[in-house]
Amino acid sequence: MKQFANKKSEQANVLLCVLCTILIVSVIGGNVLFNCVTRFNVASSQVRGWKESLYAAEAGGDIAYAEVRKTVLDPSHAFSGWTNSGNSYSNSPVTFGRDNLTTSGTADVFYYDRSGNPWYRIRAKGTAPVLGLNRVTMDDRMGVGTRGDSLLRKIDFNYDHFVATYGPNGDGLSKALVPVSRPQVTRRIELIAAPITPFEAAIKCSSTFYGLGDAAMIDSYNSQNGPYYFCATSPADPHYGDSRSGNIEIGSAVATIRGMVYGNLATNGGTIVRSYQITGTIDNNVPFTIPPFSLPADLPMAQPSPTAITGNVTINPPVAGTPSSPVFYLVSSFTGNLTINQFGSAQTYVAIHTTNDITGTIDVKPGVRAQIYFDGNVNVKARDLNNESWIAGNLQFYGISPTDPTTTQTIAIGPPGNFAATFYAPSADLTLTGNPDITGAVICKTFYGNGNTSWHYDRSLDPIGDAVDYRIVSYVEDIR
Amino acid sequence: MKLKSSQRIAGFTLSEMMVGLSLSSIVLAAAVTSGVTLQKSFNAVDNYFATHMQQIRIIDYLNRDVNRGLIVTTSVDLQSVTVAVPNYVIQSGDPEAIANPSLIGTPRTPTITYTSSGLQVNYSPSPSTVVYSISGTSILRTENGVVTTIASSTDQLVPQTTDVELTNTEYTTSSVTFMPIFTSAGSIAERTGTSLYATSYLRNRRRG
């Protein structure tokens, strides 16, 4: 019997030892798992979700930005499918990506510039799911009395904290306790899309550039401060600050720069040999494209006459017009001599669309701002462009891009003479010969100029003209 | 019978006991040593991972502020970063809040002003200033005087940020290193091996 009792006792000891061992191993394993799971949740789920929610928000911003660009580049399809309320457009949430990210946004007009171009404020929200159960919390272990991740990554485990605290629009209105279906992170950004006006640089071409002559010079001034005079080498001059914005932007690597440039130079992979002739910065890593130009869709009804400019033609506008609603003329040819008079003493705005080439002359009287849209080519002498105010913004040429992209549009300006004008023709090859004195700006496809030209960019051109595209000029994240 | 049985199940001889005890001691010593070593190793790994998480947090904080920043400057030793960020939300004491207290906590609508360098978007007359700095074993983030400890470790966390400004864009490259508590020879290599890198562009200085 004693033997039997001893055996039972030994069995119990073994069982106890096994249980203790299992307990110890389980405690160790549990501790390891607890730490691993906490860190795994942070590293794999929470950090990832936090980053992905920003990607989603920025994707939403890009979607809205694309619609804003369409208002210029493809107006008939802009904000198609979006909900419109006054000047505000909003879209339904879009789900995308392997991790089921969602994004939505609104775009509203909040400002009109001097040329009547709208500025858009884009607010986008991106949401990413956070894997794991909603009882999982954050890894705040750091120092005593300090918090770590929860201050940065605001994860909604059960309720949308933003709507509950700040309201759906972040303005404190309509606060509500909104449960979330699963843990998620939401980030919100605000972008400002500003219109790109046509004449932001002295010369901008999307393809090859050659010019100007060895003794040529490009500088700048601001016509709002009075007539031009050279002060780019006089730092003490009060207008020195406006004198070094004779910028050149070249969208290709073929960039042969000659002459003196009082401004910045940007190319797309170019190699600048005479860098000592450029006073500003040189950046050879600036790729860009210039979208084709289309006739604005919002021009008013055309005046009954003239319908062609042959011989000597004088336009006396019946009204002064406005920048956004100029007095409009549609002409089939422009081979004669055109004079545009002012309407009384009022600042007068005139727009002309010629469906053919321009080979004639034009005389723009003071007080008149003329916008000439042309479907064909331009072949004139510099003296043929008589802008009597000598303010470049008062004579603007716009080359409408051919519908067939293989068709080459040309602008040829030869000697003699000088002129003050602007050309916006993104599909045109522009050739400039002679040694003219030019005030203005040119945007074209290729640029060739071999003369010893004196070129003065007018800084007052910067905000002038209809928007040709949009760019994002401001980025803010609502970090609440 | 009982006596015989007792003798039959009698214990070990002295030599057997000595051998048994010796072996048991060795096994026990090995087990204790292994346990202690494992615990140390686990602590080291756990600490390494915890510090790594703080590296990620520092980088995430920095990138968030640089992304929305207007101006970034770094100190000579690259260990202190100052970021000017738009003052997006109206705070108590702001002019708008004084005029209309109900606006506190609401986002601002930006204004557009004509400047010598073109049109400029402003969310407020002056931006917020965010400063990242090291204080002892902690990394601090100070926004308009309000200090937040964003990371704290005895592993000597060291962030370094370089600001690169080009014609029409600007970005920062940051790295955060620390010294693990388990090190072998060559402390520089140990620190370098923990490097976490990040590049962040100022969205407000993007190319047009």
Say yes or no: A27 contacts chain B, CB-CB below 8 A.
no
Clarify whether residues B112 and B187 are in a common domain: no
121-180 of B, contacting A, C-beta below 8 A: 121, 123, 138, 148-153, 166-168
Q: Are A282 and A239 in contact (CB under 8 A)?
A: no
Tokens encoding A180: 């979330």
* A345 CB-contact burial (10 Å; exposed 0-12 / middle 13-18 / buried 19+): exposed
Say yes or no: B46 contacts chain A, CB-CB below 8 A.
yes
The answer to whether residue B149 sits within a structural domain is: yes
DSSP structural state of residue A449: E
Cβ separation of A471 and B208 shorter than 8 Å? yes
Among A27-41, A234-248, B165-179, the range with the most confident prediction by mean pLDDT is A234-248
The whole-chain average pLDDT of chain A stands at: 89
A205-259 pLDDT tens trace: 999 999 888 889 999 999 989 999 999 999 999 999 899 999 999 999 988 888 8
* A367 CB-contact burial (10 Å; exposed 0-12 / middle 13-18 / buried 19+): middle
pLDDT band (50, 70, 90) for residue B137: confident
Distance between CA atoms of A253 and A276, rounded to whole angstroms?
A: 19
Nearest-by-Cβ selection for A39 from B49, B109, B112: B49
Clarify whether residues B113 and B54 are in a common domain: no
Check pLDDT > 50 for residue A477.
yes
What angle (nearest 5°) sits at the alpha carbon of residue B167, between those of residues B162 and B171? 30
Q: What percent of chain A has pLDDT over 70?
A: 95
Tell me which of B190 and A301 has the higher pLDDT.
A301
The structural domains of chain A, with segments of one domain joined by +, span: 38-196+471-478, 203-468
pLDDT given at position B207: 52
Rounded mean pLDDT, B71-87: 90
Tally C-beta pairs within 8 A across A and B: 118
Clarify whether residues B133 and B68 are in a common domain: yes
Whose CA is closest to B105, among B118, B119, B87? B87
* B24 CB-contact burial (10 Å; exposed 0-12 / middle 13-18 / buried 19+): exposed
Q: Are A261 and A246 in contact (CB under 8 A)?
A: yes
Tokens encoding A111: 């400002």
Can you say how many angstroms the Cα of residue A364 is from the centroid of all Cα atoms in its chain? 32
Clarify whether residues B168 and B194 are in a common domain: yes
Cβ separation of A473 and B204 shorter than 8 Å? yes
Q: Three-state DSSP class for A101?
A: strand
A92-108 pLDDT tens trace: 999 998 889 999 999 99
Q: Are A452 and A259 in contact (CB under 8 A)?
A: yes
Find the helix packing angle between A47-73 and B14-67, rounded to 10°: 20
Domain that holds residue B190: 45-86+128-208
3-state helix, strand, coil in chain A (%, to 5): 20, 35, 45
Whole-angstrom CA distances from A123 to A39, A94, A127, A168, B206 are 33, 14, 14, 12, 18
Nearest-by-Cβ selection for A192 from B118, B121, B151: B121
pLDDT given at position B117: 65
Mutate to test the interface with A, among B4, B168, B178, B200 (most CBs of A within 10 A): B168
B15-64 pLDDT tens trace: 988 999 999 999 999 999 998 988 888 888 888 888 888 888 899 999 99
The answer to whether residue B152 sits within a structural domain is: yes
Final residue of a domain: which of B126, B145, B178? Answer: B126
A363-422 pLDDT tens trace: 999 999 999 999 999 999 999 999 999 999 999 999 999 988 888 899 999 999 999 999
Cβ separation of B53 and A149 shorter than 8 Å? yes
Tell me which of A183 and B8 has the higher pLDDT.
A183
Q: Are B107 and A110 in contact (CB under 8 A)?
A: no
A279-326 pLDDT tens trace: 988 888 888 888 889 898 888 999 999 999 999 999 999 999 998 889
Say yes or no: B115 contacts chain A, CB-CB below 8 A.
no
pLDDT band (50, 70, 90) for residue A109: very high
Say yes or no: B78 contacts chain A, CB-CB below 8 A.
no
Among A206-215, A351-360, B91-100, B149-158, the range with the most confident prediction by mean pLDDT is A351-360
Q: Three-state DSSP class for A13?
A: helix
Clarify whether residues B192 and B172 are in a common domain: yes
Say yes or no: A34 contacts chain B, CB-CB below 8 A.
no
Clarify whether residues B147 and B205 are in a common domain: yes
Clarify whether residues B197 and B153 are in a common domain: yes
Distance between CA atoms of A219 and A438, rounded to whole angstroms?
A: 11
The whole-chain average pLDDT of chain B stands at: 84
Distance between CA atoms of A76 and A21, rounded to whole angstroms?
A: 76
Whole-angstrom CA distances from A149 to B57, B142, B151 are 7, 16, 9
Check pLDDT > 60 for residue A2.
no
Distance between CA atoms of A34 and B185, rounded to whole angstroms?
A: 32
């909900």: which residue's tokens?
Answer: A83
Clarify whether residues B200 and B145 are in a common domain: yes
pLDDT given at position A1: 46
- Contacts of residue B56 in chain A, CB cutoff 8 Å? 43, 47
Check pLDDT > 70 for residue B185.
no
Q: Are A370 and A394 in contact (CB under 8 A)?
A: yes
Q: What percent of chain A has pLDDT over 90?
A: 62
Clarify whether residues B101 and B66 are in a common domain: no
């007018």: which residue's tokens?
Answer: A458
**How many domains are there within chain B?**
2
Q: What percent of chain B has pLDDT over 90?
A: 27
Final residue of a domain: which of B104, B126, B148? Answer: B126
Q: What is the largest CA-CA distance in chain A?
A: 138
Q: Which segments within A79-135 are labelled E, that is strand?
A: 83-85, 88-90, 94-96, 101-112, 118-129
